[in-house]
Structure 1
Amino acid sequence: MSKAFTRENDQDDEDDGEASAPALPPGTRNYMTRRGHRLLREEFEHLVKVERPNLVQVVSWAAGNGDRSENGDYIYGKKRLREIDRRLRFLTKRLDSSVVVDPAEQENTDQVFFGATVTICDQDGNESSYQIVGIDEADVGAGMISWISPLARALMKAREGDSIRFQSPMGWREIEVVAVRYIG
C-alpha cells in the first residue's frame, strides 16, 4: 500500500487538540470573560491569517523539491499543519459555545459570581486574591482560577466575612472571604 494512504498517527484526528485543555462539564456553557474571549479570537485569527498561510507556502515549496520521504521541511510542515488544523477546530468549538460575561456588568456585587476577584484568608492568615474566569483562561500563577475548580465552586454566592470549607486536592481547607470586587 502506498504511504499516501496510511495514517502516521491515529491519535492526530481523535482529540481535536483538546488533550491539554480541560473539558466542560456536561450540559454547561463555556463562560469566559471579555479578555479571555479576545485572546482566543486573536489566537484563532493569527493561526488562520498568518501562521497557516506561511506554512502552506513552505510545504508547497518543499513538495516541489522532489522526494518527499526525506524532505524535512515537507514532513515537519505537514505535521505542523495537522497541529494547526486541530487547534483551529478546538478554538472554533470553544468560541462557538462561548458565553461572554463582563464582570463590570454584575449587579449583585456583594456576592461571588463568575468574574469576581475574591480576596481570601486561609487558616494561617495568608491572604490571596483570585479572579474566577473561564476554563480556557485559567492561570493559577496569575491568580485566575476556573469557575469549575473546587475553590471557585466553594466560593460561589459567598459574601465578605463568610467562612468557607471545601475539599481541595490536598484535603479539607477552611478559608474566609475578605473582599469581593468586580473589575471589567
Structure 2
Amino acid sequence: MGRYRPPRSRGSNYITSEGERRLREELKYLWKVKRPEVTQSVQEAAAQGDRSENAEYIYGKKQLREIDRRVRFLDKRLEELEVVYRPPTDQSRIYFAAWVTLEDENGKEHRYRIVGPDEIDLENGMISIDSPMAKALLKKSIDDEVQVITPSGTKYYEIVAIEYNTDKN
C-alpha cells in the first residue's frame, strides 16, 4: 500500500482558456506519446525473463501507474472545470484572469495574473484565485490600497494597473 496523501482541498473550478489548452495538451501527450513509449519498454523488459528481479520492468510498471493516475486526474478535472473565455464587462475592477500591477510599501512593482488553481506558476506571476493575495485583490480598482496577511506579516500594496489581455504570459 502506498503512502497516505490527504485529499486535495477543493479549489475553484475556473480556468483560463490558455490553462485549459495546456491541460488538454498534457493529457494528449501522456495518452498518445508517453504511455505507448513506456508500454513498449515494459514489454521489452518483460521479454527478458524473470520479472521479479528485472529493474527495468519494475520501474516501467511504476511509470505506467503514475501516467495512468495523472491521465485519470486530468480527464476528471477537465470535465468539472469552467473555462473563462471572455474578460468581464467592467474592466476597471479586478476579476478572474486579470493582470494586476501592484506597488509595495518600498515602491517596488509586482505583476500578477489571477488564474485557477490548476495554472499556478509563481515564476511567471500566475497566482491562484483561492490565494490570500487574489482574495484581497478581487473587486478592487486602480489606486485602491490592499492589505494582505502573509506568514511573514501584513503587507500593503497599491493597485497601479489592471489589464485583461489574454495574450500575455
Flag whether TM exceeds 0.5 (same fold). Answer: yes
Aligned to 1:164: 146
Write the distance in 1 (CA, Å) between the matches of 2:122 and 2:87: 24
In the TM superposition, 1:89-108 aligns within 5 A as 89-102=72-85, 104-108=86-90
The one-letter code matched in structure 2 to 1:136 is: D
Residue 169 (structure 1) shift: 2.2
TM-score of the superposition, structure 1-length normalised?
Answer: 0.84
After the TM superposition, which segments of 4 or more aligned residues of structure 1 sit over 6 Å from their partners? none
Write the distance in 1 (CA, Å) between the matches of 2:163 and 2:62: 45
Aligned to 1:11: 2
Identity %: 46
Write the distance in 2 (CA, Å) between the matches of 1:11 and 1:114: 37
Structure 1 residues without counterparts, runs of 5 or longer? 1-9
Structure 2 residues without counterparts, runs of 5 or longer? none
In the TM superposition, 1:33-182 aligns within 5 A as 33-102=16-85, 104-182=86-164
The one-letter code matched in structure 1 to 2:53 is: E
Write the distance in 2 (CA, Å) between the matches of 1:99 and 1:24: 14
The one-letter code matched in structure 2 to 1:112 is: I
Aligned to 1:24: 10
- How many residues get paired? 166
**CA shift digits 1:150-180 (9 cap, x unpaired):** 1000000000010111212221111111111
CA RMSD of aligned residues (A): 1.7
Residue 110 (structure 1) shift: 0.3
TM-score of the superposition, structure 2-length normalised?
Answer: 0.91
Residue 91 (structure 1) shift: 1.1
Write the distance in 2 (CA, Å) between the matches of 1:133 and 1:156: 12
Secondary structure of the residue aligned to 1:135 is: coil
**CA shift digits 1:45-87 (9 cap, x unpaired):** 0000011011111112221221001112211100100111111
